[in-house]
Copies of this chain bind each other. A is one copy, B any other.
């Protein structure tokens, strides 16, 4: 760099450490939202594999064994909690987008309350959003920290329908996911979940659900899903690490059925 000669935060002189972290400058990092249950991280192997894949694809040389050792210790200490683990590329060594490759990655572990009983609404309403997801295969699947599309989508959801979750399509018009969840739909007797090769987050609970569906003999197709298929689905389930796999009750004001197969899958996932 040259580090900056002066850094002001809200007009006052400040330490350059955080203001120059590439996580803050460019969203240059990855995160995992996880549950600690009975002192252990739920689906740790899946979260760990996704974070490692993200670090590899972004070229972030984090000390992952140490990071997971700290996360396990924190989970043991808090017993039941929501963990947010973020890894940034660390403090910028030069002005501009190009990393030097010598940055010291930074791990941030924040412990929140576990999901509260009754946290989910009794009736889960889902709306189809106009807010779209840009397509970039190089970033597809990763839980990286460039999340403005989700922020805009959540704002739109609150402003317009107040629904629990919103369905998002990619710029080429196929269904991808919710704003904070992956989706499974039942349509014409088949269960589908969108392929995530061009955008979207490859959710850990999605991976778990796909694995367990295989075990239960429930066929789930990972495929291109047209919004029209979603619009006429008979059932819809949402997945993320905090809530697991849950059934939606309503899509754009239309009541949905509870699919026995998706229900069975949700129960299986909850038991793990």
Residues in A lying within 8 Å of B, measured CB to CB: 1-2, 4-11, 14, 16-29, 31, 58-59, 66, 70, 74, 78, 81-82, 84, 86, 88, 95-99, 106-113, 131-139, 144-155, 157-158, 171-172, 179-180, 198-199
Contact = CB atoms under 8 A, between A and B. Distances in A.
Contact of A152 (B14, B27, B58, B66): B58
A197 to B, nearest CB: 12
Contacts of A82: 95
The copy count of this chain in the complex is 2
19 contacts: A2-B113, A5-B112, A8-B109, A9-B109, A11-B70, A14-B108, A19-B86, A24-B29, A24-B145, A26-B151, A27-B147, A95-B112, A97-B150, A97-B151, A98-B154, A132-B135, A139-B148, A146-B146, A172-B172
What is the interface of chain A mostly: helix, strand, loop, or mixed? Answer: mixed
B151 A99 contact: yes
A23 B147 CA distance: 10
Contact of A6 (B110, B139, B199): B110
Contacts of A135: 132, 134-135, 171
A24 B19 CA distance: 9
Contacts of A106: 9-10
B26 A24 contact: no
Contacts of A132: 135-138
